Homo-oligomer: A and B are copies of this chain.
């Protein structure tokens, strides 16, 4: 019998993906339905629902769920859920859809799902703003009342994403028809909750930690994962392979860097590398809760939460994503979150400690510690410079150097093109 934490919400893994003849029949049917082009975020959410990663959700949220999630961190039935999972369409499309209709959800020529629309509700500017303030506004400097909107509309990808939503939300259950190119593109890394659970069960794991990754894995991340390995049965190094903000390092590069790191610096039996298809919201504390929620579905009961988890800019306090786990209301048995935070402080290499440490374990000074800003790091990598000792593993840095140098070369090629008379588009 599995010793793992049960999926969230008490209904087992709720997987909306169809298979076999059901799938082909639904694919045929979809061709005759009204086709709605979906956003990248919606595609990611559909696949998450398809594979059971968003259990117990079986579709997009209606207004009551949306409001309750924003206000009370709960679905209307009282089950914990931290971030609205909604689906937006234009008013023109919405006008052509009646409640009860079935529609096909497509992107780039691929039909990702069919959906039975059982609710339509308008999301006007003020509703979107209300959602953003509930979901994205934190305790960081840039979340201050007098600054939030001005800065967020420029610099908060999550806020911009919600504010760019179309005018109407459609709600209802979905049947997922495709996982896109994830299974092929990230073969062996793109794992469904059923697959990670099977791996954990086979290894006899009970206490499993997850490390959320959307950046390359340096010593600091490695330290978090290794603390988890020391105190849990194993760790899921879980990379976002969905969409990030511009400038972030692509998933292929990150996955390759994790491969080499696990190969050279981890005991393989204690690690599983996986990728999940959701897009980042950059919702800081609320996203940390979402990360824990869907990790529970993957069989994880300890979510590593470090400094500024899922944050962006200065919208969140550095440890707000840890604190929120104590601040959310308590839930009825069976309706609450069972995946607990594994909170780790700011981590770094310290010369005096002679190893990795955090502000909780290292009593020394800034001068003793290796701390490198992302900007300086990117500059050094793209210029092929040496990186300060103990910051990252050489094998990982080599992969990043190659990636950044490739980028630089591309820019140079473009610049040369521009110089020789071509226009840059």
Contacts and interface: CB of A to CB of B under 8 A. Distances in A.
Given A354-B390, A355-B354, A390-B354, A267 B362 contact: yes
A312 interface: no
A264 interface: yes
A74 to B, nearest CB: 25
Given A230-B344, A231-B231, A231-B342, A267 B359 contact: yes
B361 A266 contact: yes
Interface in A157-212: none
Given A354-B390, A356-B355, A363 B227 contact: no
Contacts of A229: 360-361
Interface residues of A, number: 29
Interface string A341-367: 011110001001111111111110000
Interface in A254-309: 264-268, 270
Interface string A8-26: 0000000000000000000
Counting chain B CB atoms within 10 Å of each CB, the highest count among A352, A355, A358, A359 belongs to A355
A226 interface: yes
A361 B230 CA distance: 7
A272 to B, nearest CB: 14
A268 B355 contact: no
Contact of A363 (B264, B345, B354, B356): B264
Interface in A343-400: 343-345, 349, 352-363, 390
Which DSSP category, helix, strand, loop or mixed, fits chain A's interface?
mixed
A392 to B, nearest CB: 11
A268 B227 CA distance: 21
A360 B267 contact: yes
A407 B343 CA distance: 45
A360 B270 contact: yes
Contacts of A360: 229-230, 267, 270
Contacts of A390: 354
Contact of A357 (B226, B353, B358, B363): B226
B226 A270 contact: no
Contacts of A355: 349, 354-356
Contacts of A266: 361, 363
B345 A230 contact: yes
A184 B383 CA distance: 63
A343 B207 CA distance: 12
A342 B231 CA distance: 7
A352 B265 CA distance: 8
Nearest to A363: B267
Contact of A353 (B265, B358, B359): B265
Nearest to A359: B267
Interface string A138-152: 000000000000000
Interface in A327-343: 342-343
A342 B229 CA distance: 12
Contacts of A226: 357, 361
Contacts of A343: 231
B231 A267 contact: no
Contacts of A231: 227, 231, 342-344
Which 10 pairs show the lowest CB-CB distances between chains A and B?
A: A355-B355, A226-B361, A267-B363, A229-B361, A227-B230, A229-B360, A355-B356, A270-B360, A231-B231, A230-B344
Interface of A: 226-227, 229-231, 264-268, 270, 342-345, 349, 352-363, 390
27 contacts: A226-B357, A226-B361, A227-B227, A229-B360, A229-B361, A230-B344, A230-B358, A230-B360, A230-B361, A231-B342, A231-B343, A264-B363, A265-B352, A265-B353, A265-B363, A266-B361, A266-B363, A267-B359, A267-B360, A267-B361, A267-B362, A267-B363, A268-B363, A349-B354, A349-B355, A354-B355, A355-B355
